[in-house]
Amino acid sequence: ENRCPHERLGPYRLLERLGEGEFTLACRAERESPPRRPVVLKTVTEPALQGEWHSLIQRWAQLPPHPNL
């Protein structure tokens, strides 16, 4: 199936599922508010929110943002 699990995520409209790994899902999306532009959003799936992966993701979330993202 090429559908994303949700139609929207924040200011983005999710258009198409591009791929899925063990812990992430990538969807092609479009930002609806200016500046309007196509993007790829990668989200964390349910298995990644459990056990040792959860603590790793929490540590990643506390890192400063990358200047190119």
pLDDT of residue 67: 77
The pLDDT confidence band at residue 69, using thresholds 50, 70 and 90, is low
Specify the 3-state DSSP secondary structure of 59: helix
Strands (E), 1-69: 8-9, 12-20, 24-31, 38-44
Report percent pLDDT > 90 for the chain: 26
Whole-prediction pTM:
0.65
User: What's the pLDDT tens digit per position in 8-40?
Assistant: 988 999 999 999 888 788 999 999 888 888 999
Order of all β-strands in the sheet with 24-31? 8-9, 12-20, 24-31, 38-44
Residue-level pLDDT at 48: 66
Burial class of residue 15 (count of CB atoms within 10 Å of its CB; 0-12, 13-18, 19+): middle
